């Protein structure tokens, strides 16, 4: 399966490689990073490997998925961002998770915009969501910068999540006005 690469000003979104495991496991073992992800607890190196393999498998099964995010200037794998819709999910999601040392630099917004363009342009999605725990203020700010608005609530892994969403038409209008 060919995983397309996306480039932004500072980032490369690419398929995961086995050599990403060290950085990925470091990210997934951080309690601050994992607090709002899935069950909200850190993962072991072995669990991180299985999680990374699940992301790679999503590409094979759905034809789209999460990219490894690489900082172009350093070559460092800094997180995962992309499209996500496993079986039973409430919609087509754009999700983001970054290593703790890369928070607060606009990387999540930059990469999520590229993923949003891909979802609406290449995959012809009509609506995209992001599932965010109500107490996750930084991710809420990213969703708002993307133009997403609260559209309901759901339960994920035993915790409440707010469904932020945006239509293709609204995304195209936002991006057209920024050019």
User: What pLDDT digit, counting tens, does each position of 104-159 carry?
Assistant: 999 999 999 999 999 999 999 999 999 999 999 999 999 999 999 999 999 998 89
Beta strands in the chain (DSSP E): 6-7, 11-14, 66-71, 77-84, 93-98, 127-132, 149-156, 159-167
Binning the chain into helix, strand and coil, the percentages to the nearest 5 are 40, 25, 35
CB 119 within 8 A of CB 83: yes
CB half-sphere exposure, 177, CA atoms < 13 A = 7
Q: CA 157 to CA 147: how far, in whole Å?
A: 26
The pLDDT value recorded for residue 1 is: 79
Tell me how far CA of residue 113 lies from CA of 37, 56, 80, 129, 147, in angstroms: 20, 21, 13, 13, 10
Which residues on adjacent β-strands are paired with residue 156? 159
The full set of domains in the chain, from first to last, is 6-177 (3.40.630.30)
The pLDDT value recorded for residue 99 is: 98
Pairing outcome for strands 127-132 and 149-156: unpaired
The pLDDT value recorded for residue 179 is: 59
The pLDDT value recorded for residue 38 is: 86
User: What pLDDT digit, counting tens, does each position of 30-75 carry?
Assistant: 999 999 998 899 999 999 999 999 999 999 999 999 999 999 999 9
Q: CA 164 to CA 24: how far, in whole Å?
A: 26
Which residues on adjacent β-strands are paired with residue 159? 156
The pLDDT value recorded for residue 116 is: 98
Question: Torsions phi, psi of 10, nearest 5?
Answer: -115, -5
């Amino acid at each position: 399966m060919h995983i397309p690469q996306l480039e932004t000003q500072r980032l490369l979104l690419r398929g995961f490689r086995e050599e990403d495991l060290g950085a990925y496991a470091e990210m997934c073992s951080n309690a601050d990073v994992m607090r709002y992800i899935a069950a909200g607890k850190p993962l072991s190196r072995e669990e991180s490997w299985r999680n990374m393999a699940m992301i790679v498998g999503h590409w094979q099964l759905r034809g789209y998925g999460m990219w490894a995010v690489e900082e172009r200037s350093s070559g460092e794998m800094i997180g995962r961002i992309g499209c996500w819709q496993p079986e039973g999910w409430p919609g087509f999601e754009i999700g983001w998770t970054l290593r703790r040392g890369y928070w607060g630099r606009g990387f999540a917004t930059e990469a999520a915009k590229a993923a949003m363009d891909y979802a609406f342009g290449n995959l012809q999605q009509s609506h995209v969501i992001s599932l965010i725990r109500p107490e996750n203020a930084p991710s809420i700010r990213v969703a708002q910068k993307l133009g997403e608005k609260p559209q309901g609530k759901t339960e994920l892994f035993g915790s409440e999540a707010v469904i932020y969403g945006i239509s293709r038409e609204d995304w195209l209008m936002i991006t057209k006005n920024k050019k």
